[in-house]
């Protein structure tokens, strides 16, 4: 009995051939898309870190206590470091692997195209999945293991960590790394508040009630101070400071008539001529609160008596009279000055 053919059997499916050049163009488009994503990720992340660092530096310097400035900067550097580390992981574990898988498939396609103008199967997604999900080693070692990527992320990350550590040390967060003695750093007070309950300016009774010629308005006061070794040596430190005090010009209508006349007075050295008064001179003194990172006043330093003249910016430079223990000086994070107007030196 003759064997009959089974009508349910289907003829074998002929293998599909794809044009190699057309497939190469599609592979190339995908690879370039991943490369563009990767470059934008890196460049925009770098720009974001630079921009946020600049904004943080400007914001914390705008009228913030010096101790809080360093704490705020340390926090900003910490957040930026975490952000950069997250971008680093996203790049290495995802976006770079997408590009490496696409390039692997492209290289394989180019190898096959040398023997035939057609390819039997497309493997782009297969290669990408193998690299991204399965962690398969890249075929192209140059792309996957480039040192440039490590240098790019490491340089920025190390810079952020250095900024974080430096800010934390300055803020006194790492006592183990704090200086055991005073440094040469300046403590800048900026422009002092001269009005209200927190005013850094006050007047003695002699200046306020007993002066024939009132001192014109003190327009601005700014100071900066640092610890210095005393001229005589020793282990203690002195607070040196520079102050700029701007005083308004004297109103001539407020000068008593006796000060507007030329006078000749006798002295042991001979006659002394005093010209009519144009501006007034007052004696002043500075006191400084030395504050640690917790806001506690460690010590107070008093300056010597100095003199200011109305109608000009008076630049004063002096040393405080009392010495400071080096251990206490090393814990100081801010110096808060206070100016007291003592008396009218031009009055008689």
Same domain flag for 162 and 211: no
Binned at pLDDT 50, 70 and 90, residue 310 comes out as very high
Binned at pLDDT 50, 70 and 90, residue 175 comes out as very low
Q: Is residue 6 part of a domain?
A: no
Token couple for 262: 């030329």
Q: Is residue 161 part of a domain?
A: yes
Share of the chain above pLDDT 90, in %: 17
Taking 80 as the threshold, does the pLDDT of residue 8 lie above it?
Answer: no
Same domain flag for 237 and 160: no
Q: Is residue 5 part of a domain?
A: no
| Mean pLDDT across the chain | 76
Taking 60 as the threshold, does the pLDDT of residue 273 lie above it?
Answer: yes
Taking 90 as the threshold, does the pLDDT of residue 325 lie above it?
Answer: no
290 contacts 301 by C-beta, under 8 angstroms: yes
Q: What is the rounded average pLDDT of the residues 135-153? A: 61
Same domain flag for 169 and 191: no
Question: What span, in angstroms and rounded, lies between the C-alpha atoms of 241 and 323?
Answer: 14
Same domain flag for 144 and 220: no
Same domain flag for 140 and 283: no
Taking 50 as the threshold, does the pLDDT of residue 25 lie above it?
Answer: yes
Least confident of 42-51, 131-140, 209-218: 131-140
Same domain flag for 132 and 222: no
Taking 60 as the threshold, does the pLDDT of residue 176 lie above it?
Answer: no
Q: What is the rounded average pLDDT of the residues 199-205? A: 92
Question: What span, in angstroms and rounded, lies between the C-alpha atoms of 207 and 212?
Answer: 9
Q: What is the pLDDT of residue 172?
A: 61
Q: What is the pLDDT of residue 21?
A: 57
Same domain flag for 234 and 113: no
Same domain flag for 317 and 234: yes
Question: In which element (H, E) is residue 111 found?
Answer: helix 96-112
308 contacts 162 by C-beta, under 8 angstroms: no
Alpha helices in the chain (DSSP H): 20-60, 66-90, 96-112, 124-132, 141-144, 147-170, 205-208, 326-330
Binned at pLDDT 50, 70 and 90, residue 51 comes out as confident
Q: What is the pLDDT of residue 112?
A: 60
Binned at pLDDT 50, 70 and 90, residue 40 comes out as confident
Binned at pLDDT 50, 70 and 90, residue 144 comes out as very low
Same domain flag for 152 and 199: no
Q: Is residue 135 part of a domain?
A: yes
Question: What span, in angstroms and rounded, lies between the C-alpha atoms of 222 and 337?
Answer: 9
Q: What is the pLDDT of residue 63?
A: 53
Range of the domain at 334: 187-344
Q: What is the pLDDT of residue 115?
A: 56
Q: What is the pLDDT of residue 242?
A: 93
Question: What span, in angstroms and rounded, lies between the C-alpha atoms of 196 and 87?
Answer: 48
Same domain flag for 338 and 202: yes
Instruction: Count structural domains, the chain.
Output: 2
Same domain flag for 138 and 280: no
Q: What is the rounded average pLDDT of the residues 188-200? A: 88
Q: Is residue 10 part of a domain?
A: no
Taking 80 as the threshold, does the pLDDT of residue 93 lie above it?
Answer: no
Q: What is the pLDDT of residue 313?
A: 94
Question: What span, in angstroms and rounded, lies between the C-alpha atoms of 195 and 219?
Answer: 11
Q: How many Cβ atoms are within 10 Å of 245's Cβ, its own excluded? A: 25
Same domain flag for 257 and 144: no
Q: What is the pLDDT of residue 222?
A: 93
Q: Is residue 321 part of a domain?
A: yes
Q: What is the pLDDT of residue 336?
A: 92
Backbone φ, ψ for residue 151 (5° rounding): -60, -45
């Amino acid at each position: 009995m003759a064997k009959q053919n089974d009508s349910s059997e289907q003829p074998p499916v002929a293998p599909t051939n794809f044009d190699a050049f057309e497939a190469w163009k599609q592979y190339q488009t995908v690879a370039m898309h991943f490369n563009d994503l990767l470059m934008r990720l890196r460049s925009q992340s770098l720009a974001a870190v630079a921009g946020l660092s600049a904004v943080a530096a400007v914001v914390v310097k705008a009228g913030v206590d010096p101790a809080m400035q360093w704490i705020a900067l340390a926090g900003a550097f910490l957040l930026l470091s975490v952000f950069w580390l997250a971008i680093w992981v996203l790049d290495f574990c995802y976006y770079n692997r997408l590009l490496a898988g696409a390039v692997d498939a492209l290289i394989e396609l180019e190898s096959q195209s040398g023997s035939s103008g057609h390819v039997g199967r497309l493997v782009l997604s297969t290669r990408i999945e193998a690299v991204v999900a399965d962690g398969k080693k890249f075929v192209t070692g140059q792309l996957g293991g480039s040192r440039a990527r490590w240098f790019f992320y490491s340089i920025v990350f190390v810079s952020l960590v250095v900024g974080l550590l430096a800010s934390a040390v300055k803020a006194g967060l790492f006592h183990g790394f704090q200086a055991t003695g005073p440094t040469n750093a300046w403590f800048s007070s900026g422009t002092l508040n001269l009005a209200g309950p927190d005013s850094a300016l006050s007047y003695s009774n002699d200046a306020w009630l007993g002066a024939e010629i009132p001192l014109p308005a003190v327009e601005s006061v700014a100071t900066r101070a640092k610890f210095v070794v005393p001229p005589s040596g020793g282990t203690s430190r002195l607070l040196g400071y520079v102050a700029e005090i701007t005083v308004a010009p004297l109103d001539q209508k407020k000068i008593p008539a006796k000060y507007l006349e030329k006078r000749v007075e006798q002295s042991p050295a001979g006659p002394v001529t005093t010209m009519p008064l144009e501006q007034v001179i007052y004696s002043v003194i500075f006191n400084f609160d030395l504050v640690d990172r917790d806001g506690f006043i460690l010590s107070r330093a008093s300056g010597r008596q100095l003199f200011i003249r109305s109608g000009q910016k008076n630049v004063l430079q002096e040393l405080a009279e009392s010495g400071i223990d080096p251990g206490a000086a090393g814990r100081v994070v801010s110096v808060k000055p206070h100016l007291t107007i003592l008396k009218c030196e031009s009055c008689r």
